Amino acid sequence: MAEYSGADATVQATNDSSIVSKASTAAAGYFEDPFVGHVAIRGPKGRLIRRSPLVHRCYYVRHLGVFQMQETFLRSCISPGDAYNVVVLGAGFDTGALRRGWPHGLRGYFEVDFPAVLQRKEALLKQAQVLRPDWLHSCGADLRDTSEVEASLRCAGVDFMVPTLLIAEVVLAYMENSEGDELIAWVAKAFRNCLFGVYEQIGPHDSFGRFMRKHFSQRQCPLRALLANPDLECQKIRFRAFDRVDAADMMSILAAAPVDELKRAFQLEAFDEFEEFHLKCVHYFCLAAISGTCTRARRQWQVAVQTNSCAVNPMLMPVEAVSLAIPRFGLAASFCSGHIVISGGQGTFNATTSDAPHGRQVSIMAMKLEAYPFRSCASKQIGEHAAAMYCTCTTVNDQVFVFGGRLAPQRPSAALGICTCPSSGPPSIRQVHEAYPWPMARWRHTATKIHLGGPGLLVLGGIGEALEVLSLEEAWFLDTDSLTWQQFFVEPAPDGGFPVARHSHAAALGSGGVLVCGGLDADEHILGDAWTLHAVFDGIQNRFRLAWRRALSPLPRPRYGHNLHEYFGHFIVVGGIDATLGSASICAFGKSFAVSCSAMRDGEPEIFMWHNLASVMLEDSEFLVILGGGGNCFSFGTHLNQSARLLNLRELIKQAEKSQTETLCAQCLGWCWGAR
């Protein structure tokens, strides 16, 4: 950390970690900035500190947001050759002034920050022999004192009358709400023709938002204004002194970017933290507050309109916390003969303390469930599955089949392990050697129990080698008696359609076949469609044929990374990401349910994240156990759920039926194929 001093040292130091991330992102090729490396703190032997692909993506989207606001100003707020200013509030070590070419007419580029921060920046650039252009000005001032800010800008020669682009990246959040309001009011009054671009956090109340707030509080730089301005609407109201306010979360920033540019950037590194990336994107936003002549600026962001009232105001479903602690994410689990069998994931072996070592877990664990409420069930390691992340666990009779997964984002597996859970005696596991035919290696796929002339499991989709998203035009069936694989080339729906290739989808067997819904496609678009895979026996060819049919989706919105369960003809969706603030934890009858739980930790409600988890239906009961979950939350640290959740499916169905206004199809028990 830099040698800052005084009460504001911790806030000033956030600049250093941010610049290290920007430098790492630029070095990885996400955007060009030959200067940022000169001002970033370096690691051993003077090398740039390398951040994770998740951090790179998040800083790339931040770069996109600022770039879009710059381009909106330069292309539609001024005419070629017009005089204009650029003012960066809380500039820190940002090198945006030097990174890009500025059109003719620039009167001055003014960087405002604490004098100590700007002095260190100037010294580092001078040491690197970076020539400072005459139009670039350092304006030392405390942003909490608007008279000091104005005096510093006037001294540097700013012309308050010409159109001005102002940028503030994660500045207002660190200020007291009243201090930020004063700064906003001063900008609106001082710059009558301006575009004031802001990049900040939102969403303080859900699990990710609480974890984010906790991180900044622990760093002694709390997000002081966030609770008073928790969402986009509140943020827009905060800037009501301006003539026009546009605001959008970072998902909309992505949507406004050129498709080819996103493809280029997203292919730079192998990546497998989709959930955390989307969560970060919906917890940050860009806002453009516009006044005077700049109101002619074109609108660039399309904000999605939420049309499902049940999704906007989800019903509340109580769940119970149980001490079946599996502190891992990306795990798989299944229930068999009184045991929960758990495979892999990222996290700890079985420790729930925050300082326990984290890592990729290759163990296969078996947990014998005693009588409800399952409060003292010990887990035991029974074997290993090396491809520990995003494999599948599927129970067929008294065996659990563990298939696929990955060792790293470019190292998928096609390994198959079988865990036998006898009615008496301990569970055991054995590995099955590959033979021809055999499905290709994959992860983030589904493996569903089904009967095709005999018991087995059906494998669909996922991510394969070279990060290829696998097609649903083929399916693989494992006959669990003979342990032989059969490849099916699936026939299209009656209208000729196929579901697009996907991963992170969900599947479950129902009365009409295997229902598949949601997921991510090859372009990382979140899917909300649903299809049934219908099996018909062909007596002439003496074989089964598989064909797709379009189905009504059980998802209120597009979603991925979720689990799907069938309970007495009803489909229950658990967890996952739909890229909105406060994503519903559970869906039933196409309705969204938020979850209430009385679990406490350290005197506060326990943070429980509803992604990267496993959910297990307990046979011959009305309960669903939800295990594990969490992830690497941007640069805020890793969160691992420290307890499990127990969902009463009977009560869920009762609540869902109360809200159901449409008549259910009696034949299909709440789900049916579309008219097409």
Regarding predicted confidence, which is higher, 170 or 619?
Answer: 170
Report the C-alpha gap between 295 and 461 in whole angstroms.
47
Q: Is 90 strand, coil or helix?
A: coil
The pLDDT of residue 3: 60
- CATH code assigned at 517: 2.120.10.80
Residue 251 and residue 168 share a domain: yes
Among 559, 515, 536, smallest CA distance to 672 is for 515
pLDDT number for residue 676? 29
Q: Are the CB atoms for 617 and 624 separated by under 8 Å?
A: yes
Residue 671 has pLDDT above 50, yes or no: no
> What pLDDT digit, counting tens, does each position of 509-563 carry?
998 899 999 999 999 999 999 999 999 988 888 889 999 999 999 999 999 999 9
Q: Do residues 182 and 325 both lie within one domain?
A: no
Please state, in angstroms and rounded to a whole number, the distance separating the CA atoms of residues 415 and 277.
Answer: 28
Q: Which segment of 66-70, 317-321, 557-561, 653-657 scores lowest on mean pLDDT? A: 653-657
CA-based torsion, 536, 666, 622, 597: positive or negative: positive
Domain that holds residue 241: 17-295
Does the pLDDT value for residue 106 go beyond 90? Answer: yes
What is residue 620's predicted lDDT score, i.e. its pLDDT? 84
pTM score: 0.94
Among 134-143, 263-272, 535-544, name the one with the lowest average pLDDT. Answer: 535-544
Question: Are 90 and 227 contained in the same domain?
Answer: yes
Contact of 584 with 609, CB cutoff 8 Å: no
Average model confidence (pLDDT) across the chain:
92
Higher pLDDT, residue 359 or 30? 30
In a domain, 302, yes or no: no
Q: Does residue 346 fall inside a structural domain?
A: no
**HEC sequence for 513-534:** EEEEEEEECCCCCEEEEEEEEE
**344, 362 in Cβ contact below 8 A?**
yes
Q: Does residue 364 form part of some domain?
A: no
Q: Kindly state whether residues 221 and 319 are assigned to the same domain.
A: no
Q: Say yes or no to pLDDT of 310 above 50.
A: no
pLDDT band at 309 (very low <50, low <70, confident <90, very high): very low
For residue 635, what pLDDT is reported?
A: 93
Domain boundary (250, 269, 295) is at 295
* pLDDT score recorded for residue 234: 97
Together in a domain, 319 and 207? no
In this prediction, residue 123 carries a pLDDT of: 97
Q: What is the pLDDT of residue 672?
A: 40
Q: Are residues 240 and 317 in the same domain?
A: no
Considering Cα of 325, then 331, then 328, then 230, what sign does the dihedral take?
negative
pLDDT greater at residue 307 or residue 462 = 462
Using DSSP's 3-state secondary structure scheme, residue 571 falls into strand
Whether the Cβ atoms of residue 496 and residue 512 lie closer than 8 Å to each other = no
**pLDDT grade, residue 668 (50/70/90)?**
very low
In this structure, the answer to whether residues 574 and 529 fall within a common structural domain is yes
In a domain, 670, yes or no: no
Quick check: is 668 in a domain?
no
- Asked whether residue 675 is domain-assigned, the answer is no
Q: Which residues of 526-537 are buried (b: 16+ CB within 10 A; e: fewer)?
A: bbbbbbbbbbee
Residue type, 594: A
Does residue 6 have a pLDDT over 50? yes
Contact 275, 577 (CB under 8 A): yes
Closest CA to 360 of 371, 372, 343, 344: 344
Q: Are residues 252 and 313 part of one domain?
A: no
Instruction: State the pLDDT confidence band at 304, using cuts at 50, 70 and 90.
Output: low
What is the distance between the terminal CA atoms of the chain, rounded to a whole angstrom? 62
Q: Provide mean pLDDT across the span 232-246.
A: 98
Which pLDDT belongs to residue 670? 39
Task: Tell whether the model's pLDDT for residue 445 goes beyond 70.
Answer: yes
* pLDDT class of 388 with cuts at 50, 70, 90: confident
Residues 315, 203 share a domain: no
Domain count, the chain: 2
Q: DSSP string of 118-160?
A: HHHHHHHHHHTTPPPPTTEEEEE--TT-HHHHHHHHHHHT--T
What is the signed CA dihedral for 464, 609, 361, 447, rounded to 10 degrees? -40
Q: Residue 556 falls within a domain, yes or no?
A: yes
What CATH number is attached to the domain comprising 27? Answer: 3.40.50.150
The band of 666, judged by pLDDT with boundaries at 50, 70 and 90, is very low
Q: What is the pLDDT of residue 669?
A: 37
- % pLDDT > 70, the chain: 93
Residue 315 and residue 253 share a domain: no
**Looking at the structure, do residues 281 and 313 belong to the same domain, yes or no?**
no
Least confident of 283-297, 566-580, 660-674: 660-674
Nearest to 291 by CA among 77, 68, 71: 77
- pLDDT above 50 for 24: yes
Question: Quick check: 313 pLDDT over 70?
Answer: no
Domain assignment of residue 549, yes or no: yes
Is residue 69 domain-shared with residue 192, that is, in the same domain? yes
pLDDT at 325: 84
